[in-house]
Structure 1
Amino acid sequence: MADTETAPAADARPAKSVVYCGQCSLPPEYCEYGGTTQRCADWLLKHHPDLHAKLYSEEAQAAALTQNLSSLSVDAQKRAEKDAQKKAAKASAAESREAEKRASSKVTIKRVERNKRKYVTEVSGLEHFGLDLKKIAKEFGKKFATGSSVTKTPSGGEEITVQGDVSDDIFDWLGEHHEEIPEENIELVEDKKKKGAAAAV
């Protein structure tokens, strides 16, 4: 039996690179279906200005609207315009609720004394700002060369526990790397271990 070699196809094309939105994780052409259109547009402007101009310029918006409306009847066009306005208002309301929630959320950096002169630092509230706790815990471990892990709190939430007294360093690090967290929303707390009842007598 003769060996047969298969030649590569003559029309083989290189793989196409696809951009995915950093906010909703959809391709930018589909961000309007994700519900966070404005944040998606802001992200795209910052990271891919050429693609933002292509999708969000006034000419592109007008062309898309004209193309969509030309295939509809007059009544359907009116309904489509009302639906678009409702959808935009709903997305705007959701974004403003999210902004209010973030504005009222607090990140607490607590220094807790374990034994004499041994401390851990507990960081809670980062999830309100959309941060991945496991990723941040890993970054803390590398940055401060210490143990860092995500632990459950008694109330059912999660917090990051870092070995050592690094509360001031974490405060500074958050200010440098996460501008989305306002400085006034970061609270430093010191939790001293209570002395035994015998000491009070």
Structure 2
Amino acid sequence: MAEVDPGVESQARHVVYCGGEYPWGVNPSMDYCEFGGTAKKCEEWLKDHQSDLWDQLYSGDALNANLSTLSVSAQERAAKDAAKKEAKAALVEARDAERKAASRIQIKRVERNKRKHVTVITGLEVHGLENKKLAKELGKKFATGSSVTKSAAGVEEITVQGDVSDDVREWLLEVYGSKVPEANIELVEDKKKKSGTGA
């Protein structure tokens, strides 16, 4: 075990977590913002929520002091790198927005046998919702069995026992309306084909 020098005083470090809007939730640390292309968002969040720290890092005096230590070529490279990272992050964000706008959430009423039905829901993961968590919530909400399975195409789907397709649609809009646009929800009825008796 390493010995601690009695002349050195240990200090706890306070880490500020960025609360900007990210597809994956909260950014783990302000240290990573500058490397991920979201520096502008982080800077804006910091200015609004941690003004003292913003002054220390981004005020005119702080920037001039940091830039004065860099050579002109290093300053130009840093500016180009920052612009590339921001453009890349904006492109990824735009692609995600397009993908979400084009994706369909399908709520399908499937006939099992005679008068028994199940409701199958697909396409929720594109909107940042977790299928397993939703299956559990739906099971509790409708007091029925609910599970996550893979379809023949390899897509995850939530299967809820019973004909609750209209209720599921209303519930999704009520609870997750901010993440799930109403125009993206599609109700489908899937009936079993009856086998004909030939004569």
What TM-score, normalized by structure 2, do the two folds share?
A: 0.76
How much has 1:81 moved relative to structure 2?
A: 0.7
> Does residue 186 of the first structure (1) align with residue 185 of the second (2)?
yes
Q: Given the superposition, is the C-alpha separation of residues 83 and 34 from structure 1 closer, same or farther in structure 2, using an over 3 Å criterion? A: closer
Whole-Å separation in 1 of the counterparts to 2:30 and 2:15: 14
Measured after TM superposition, the shift of residue 70 of structure 1 is 3.4
Structure 2 residue 98 is matched with structure 1 residue 97 = no
Aligned counterpart, 1:3: none
Q: 2:38 maps to which residue?
A: 37
Q: In the alignment, what sits opposite 1:145?
A: 143
Unaligned runs of 5+ in 1: 1-10
CA contact (8 A) 1:107 1:124 kept: yes
Match of 1:120 in 2: 118
In 1, the alpha carbon distance for the partners of 2:192 and 2:65 equals 68
Aligned residue pair count: 184
Q: Take 2:132 and 2:16, find their aligned partners in 1: how far apart are those partners?
A: 27
Aligned counterpart, 2:5: none
Give TM-score, length-normalised by structure 1.
0.76
Across the aligned residues of Structure 1 and Structure 2, the Cα RMSD in angstroms comes to 3.5
Task: Classify 1:90/1:68 alpha carbon distance in 2 versus 1 (closer, same or farther; 3 Å).
Answer: farther
Q: Distance in 1 between matches of 2:36 and 2:103?
A: 22
Identical-pair percentage: 51
Conserved 8 A contact 1:26-1:34: no
Distance 1:103 1:18, change over 3 A: same
Long gaps (5+) in structure 2: 1-8
Contact 1:24–1:31, Cα closer than 8 Å, also in 2: no
Distance 1:121 1:68, change over 3 A: farther
SS of the equivalent of 2:112 reads strand
The match for 1:75 is: 73
Whether the 8 Å CA contact 1:120–1:165 is kept in 2: the answer is yes
2:168 is paired with a residue of what secondary structure? Answer: helix
